[in-house]
Structure 1
């Protein structure tokens, strides 16, 4: 049953009681204000191609990249991806070609490919839009990646709260199998590859790659210690390449247009296009595709951010706040790092003067406390102490808050230095930036 937001409690109750009266699910293109515009690389088919039709996808250039991959061979595909400068779009920005090359070079067999579609960062919905609006692009990209790293089986770990994406991906995988695009002899090239969907159960921690592996294997979703790294011992103890949805679909323009053309787009070490999830107090929220190097101001103007802004959160709950006057920050991994913040997964949450910042910070702290897996003490205890301190000072400022601010810094430093994974290491980021950059609680 679909309920289109914003919705009242009465509308939700009516839809639950009488599903036949509920509106049809809105198309994925509703989340893409740029849908249908020329020049798009990753969003070009959203709102243009029927996501249920393999023929429509192929009529719009689908599977040309896979055919080129077979013509090139695995080593040349990896070289092309490496030369493009593509880095992971999930926030860590690890070079994709290097990851694929390291996996492919492992002598132990079997190799696996894992697509991380457990998109759980608050404010992030770009992967959902791709899977719902252009599912065949992900299936094609996974097949190319599997071919490059020597994998014959791919796992697509899908966020459990994405039921429509599940239906569309199951349809896409089924049609691809029926047409010889998955299975024992892909495109008649003698290469066997198939994809299995595994659904997550709502745990944010399973966005961490090794916790995701544990979940697929049937264990508790907890991060593993590294080394060994996944390219050596990943899923089921075998060499594994893990990429998220956005990273994988970037491979299609790389192979279709060439590494040089891809690398010519963007800025510095951040090459190609990037998807941004814009929400909050803006006129046109949604997914935006921009070349790396565009500024924060460019994105705010596109999305219709106007009026008096209080702050902008970059990178989601694990990201950091910036001031409204910092519009010139370049939206690149190195540009945001130089500005003392992070690009993360591409979340841009705009807050105006009506928003009570202490309430937002408390909600972020509650989120991390809820989502901590509890495996390591710094994160298990630190996220609780952080939330407790923010509860105490939510209506305080100045000297009344000074003691708890000092405690927050101590706890935040311990989590950042000693937590096993990125959840605990970044749980303090947004709160620290609000205190230091925005002057919260002064």
Structure 2
């Protein structure tokens, strides 16, 4: 195989790949073996006709396309490695010649990573992010712990207030007809949570257990059910029970019963330490991001659309993954918000462009500084991952594909590159 760089204009590269005739004929024979069962040739059982007979019947090039599909995935990676180019999109392939003398000659057009001049990346000035933890933050965290350990208790003869939980039966009607999904029994509704249609919860305030009430509402215009969107509806509601939160006292007993600590003072100190660690991590993350943004801003480059589109794909995959954990899907989000997938993609374009540019600039810094990743560093990272996922290291290693290892290596390299930027930054 021979690879030649024909021309390079901006991010567009044209290369020529030549495969000798023997290798090409070998691929043709593989294509024949794979596809001969498709041809019915008089005088031969199906799949038993010789290659030369099929070629005589259908033309010499009958197996050429399949042969190229067999060869290209083998020779293309070798060619781009030999020519030291980094494609960022699918290649566009044209066959220039197939002959006994020259073999298979393919011309490939592909978009590659852009070349650019790296801007200043040392001595970047950024402001130090405040990571001070106030006593109010500690208080709020302890109150959250109290709230999680609160229990709901029935309150006899109590009128419903905001914050109370109403246990209700309900059924919704539109023009006097019950509609699908509008009925529930013994449903726990926290008043003020705004989890029901706007105006629904307000009309239960002041009611008591045993009372029935007619709730009149109008569905939002953007409601996900078209037949209900923007339409008035009536709900017949019966209040079965009114429950209030019974919050425990914040004292030594609470600390002893709900945590590993014996006193409230010990619990408070632990809560403060954890909040301080979170604040330090958050501050460090914000400063690292700020440095990367400034370094990227110092470099002029045209961000390739193909890379931006791929990044948008990744962002939407992440969004869909998060939605699935919440019991939703990307399609449901689009239906609820009335947006198309194209609109959602465009909303992510600016973010994707920033991410791609930062990635390209960080790669350039890593190359300029000769930053490498050792096998020991990769192993240490895998050990951390194994601990995080509670897996045996050997089992995790055996499950990793080559692409996974390259991804881990790339993440370590980027992290080391940002470490270098931070070490050389002026943080005031």
- TM-score, structure 1 normalization: 0.16
> Which one has the bigger strand percentage?
2
- TM-score, structure 2 normalization: 0.17
Structure having the higher Rg = 2
